[in-house]
Chain A
Amino acid sequence: MHELIEKVFLKHFNDPLLLDQSDSAVMEVSESRLAFTTDAYVVQPMFFAGGNIGKLAVCGAVNDLVAAGAQPLFLSVAFIIEEGLELSELEIIVQTMAETASDAGVRIVCGDTKVVGKGQCDKLFITTSGIGQTQKEHEDIGSGKLIQPGDHIIINGTLGDHGMAVLAARNQLGFTSDLQSDCAPLNLMIQPLLDAGLPIHFMRDPTRGGLASVLCEITQNKNFGIEIDETLIPISEPVLGMCELYGFDPLYIANEGKMLMIVPDSSSFETLSLLQKSESGKNSAAIGRVTEKNPGRVMMKTPIGGTRLITMLTGEQLPRIC
């Protein structure tokens, strides 16, 4: 175990706080208002086009902090490793985590590792927790309290890339594709908005359950509705094609590098222009509005001018028979 920690983890995770190898990392933060999050990651397969479970684990924690309007600072990582996992695979994952954290400007300051017997876990489970600092004026961003009729709904790019890339990596579909997961840390895209003082009424990363599930969650039992326009929603051709083939609705497919933002009408244009300057936001689009009508409901205008209701997904999307 000691060798594993030395040769794999400390080789790539080399923050001074971690290298101390004490039981706790002790950090100094200038602000007293902190955001704190944790998430566990299991994905099958561990490697997919555009990322791996390690990249997911770092991006997931970072993006959860970003969605709360916080600037991510520190991460803790815990690994549960199934006996027999190839060391080379583990090392690639650890290295990706170190690189992703570095790209995002967050520090991995503590961690833990357990090895369990064969069959007691599926290759590798990772749990990451993250701490970020936030300002008082941003504390309601994650709650939905600030959402107003007239606000614009913005998404920072194409939907469904991650879910479909993982599905393609499972190799059960019988064809190859050049789809890439969108997995990315979003703090570098969002921070300029906060720094510019642009008001953000709501943010959430539409991961499992996709965009539709987030929209349904935020309108549930509220006195406003949401109307989106299908023709404005960015979705890549390969994702659209695969969805047609398998009977999936891309609105419900998982994303790992997307942020749904709700912003006031008055600053929507400026927000979009700023988002479009960053790599993760270059395909950003305003896709709909918060409405007074249809309270508690999410409606979508279809490409032919009809309207339909968007409801919460129950269970997983399953491929259609025919």
Chain B
Amino acid sequence: MKFVDDFRDRELCEIVLEQIHRESKRSITIMEVCGGHTMALHRFGIPSLLPPTIDLLSGPGCPVCVTGRGFIDHAIRLAMQEKTAVCTYGDLIQVPGSESTLEKAKAGGADVRIVYSPMQCVDMAAWNEDMKFVFLGIGFETTAPASAIALRTAKELDLKNFFLFSAHKVMPQAMAAIIHAGVKVDAYLCPGHVSAITGTKMYEPLVGQFGVGCVVSGFEPLDLLQSILMLVKQHEHNNPVVEIQYTRAVKPEGNTKAQSILNQVFEPCDAWWRGLGILPQSGLKPSISFRKYDAVEFFDLSGDEPPDPPGCCCCEVLKGLIKPMDCKLFSIVCTPANPVGACMVSAEGACQSFFRYANS
């Protein structure tokens, strides 16, 4: 496959690996904060190829994993209402709320529809005026622009029956919160697609305040290995900086068009992160001129965040305090077929990634 095969070239990967082995002398903990990176690292068996000086930790970068159970509970209640359909990206439907999942609710008659784009939900709303449609807005700066365009289209069409239930989040606050929480991270493997939208300026405080190196990485093995090498070199030379490895997709200034749509449609709000609690100004909600499309304004979605299920260590896993296999429930009680915590549900979750791909 053009543009992919070259980045999976074994010889090139071996050259970079050899350099990593040669350069890495001091121990370094690298956290990846993107679920796509977690998955790619394990899918290509990269941890098995690294020297023992390098420790990889998975952070809170899977949007499904950081979404609270209360959000799922509300979504289920919405989908059970008369003439109300809840539209969602596929990965969310198996995530456990406090008592059920959207998948089980659907089997029980709730109107839950999987879509590939929020625009499908806008279309449904436009064609079915007697029903209400709620799109579950989940994900970071990567998926938020699509939700923003859906809201803008709904406004242009003057729809009265389309709503966004936003759990959209922004990344830098969480990356700072991890360090504040006392997790020992020497370097961040920064998310590729988030950075394609945001640019890299937002990582500068992490370098300035905490001395943590940041490299924005692509998702192919050669990308990941090259990014790890860049972080190792920074660490060995005590020179933490923000660098872009994923130059074919990411510019320092990011995608200014997407940023302007985000700024137009959304405003920052406090948001609840599984594992991290409430982080100020880390979420996105529809701004005042789009407020009538905000599901939180239209429906009754009040209530406290329910506690995590007993024994579940998703919070510690998301903070990188423990590895998935250190959780007592891992692979015994908590499996992809019967997930207890969200990290086992999502294909990008650290627990499922370890369960599916780890060698032992």
Q: Which residues of A contact B (CB under 8 A)?
A: 172-174, 237, 240-241, 244, 247, 299, 302-309, 311, 314-315, 318-322
Contact = CB atoms under 8 A, between A and B. Distances in A.
B186 interface: no
A304 B44 contact: yes
A303 B359 contact: no
A321 B63 contact: yes
24 contacts: A172-B116, A172-B120, A173-B116, A303-B10, A303-B44, A304-B10, A304-B49, A304-B221, A305-B13, A305-B14, A306-B45, A307-B48, A309-B359, A311-B356, A314-B336, A315-B94, A315-B336, A319-B116, A320-B90, A320-B348, A321-B138, A321-B143, A322-B139, A322-B140
Nearest to B88: A321
B106 to A, nearest CB: 13
Contact of B43 (A302, A320, A321): A302
Given A172-B120, A315-B94, 19 more contacts: A174-B116, A237-B1, A302-B43, A303-B221, A305-B14, A306-B45, A308-B45, A309-B357, A309-B359, A311-B355, A311-B356, A315-B336, A315-B337, A318-B114, A319-B91, A320-B36, A321-B63, A321-B138, A322-B140
Chain A binding surface SS class: loop
Contacts, number: 96
B328 to A, nearest CB: 20
A244 B45 contact: no
Interface in B210-238: 221-222
B116 A318 contact: no
Interface string B114-152: 111100100000000000000000111011000000000
Contacts of A307: 45, 48, 359
Nearest to B49: A306
Contacts of B278: none
B64 A321 contact: yes
A244 B1 contact: yes
Contacts of B43: 302, 308
Interface string B7-22: 0101001100000000
Given A306-B44, A307-B359, A308-B43, A314 B63 contact: no
Contact of B193 (A305, A314, A318, A322): A322
Interface string B90-123: 1111100000000000000000001111001000
Nearest to A299: B359
A306 B222 CA distance: 13
Nearest to B94: A315
Contacts of B142: 322
Contacts of B120: 172
B241 interface: no
Contacts of A172: 115-116, 120
A67 B26 CA distance: 55
Contacts of B48: 306-307
Q: Pick the most buried of B10, B93, B138, B347: most chain A CB atoms within 10 A of its CB.
A: B347
A309 to B, nearest CB: 6
B325 interface: no
B29 interface: no
B319 interface: no
A244 B36 CA distance: 11
A58 B347 CA distance: 35
Contacts of B139: 321-322
Contacts of B290: none
Interface residues of B, number: 45
B143 A319 contact: no
Contacts of A299: 359
Nearest to A304: B13
B42 interface: yes
Q: Pick the most buried of A174, A240, A302, A304: most chain B CB atoms within 10 A of its CB.
A: A304
Contacts of B64: 321
Interface in B43-76: 43-46, 48-49, 63-64
A120 B43 CA distance: 43
B44 A302 contact: yes
B4 interface: yes
A309 B352 CA distance: 12
A303 B46 CA distance: 11
A173 B114 CA distance: 12
A314 B116 contact: no
B335 interface: yes
B176 interface: no
Given A320-B348, A322-B63, A174 B4 contact: no
A308 B357 contact: yes
Given A304-B8, A314-B336, A321 B116 contact: no
A178 to B, nearest CB: 16
A308 B49 CA distance: 11
Contacts of A322: 36, 63, 139-140, 142-143, 193
Nearest to B358: A309
A305 B49 contact: yes
Nearest to A241: B1
A129 B23 CA distance: 64
Contact of A304 (B45, B114, B336): B45
Contact of B44 (A173, A308, A318): A308
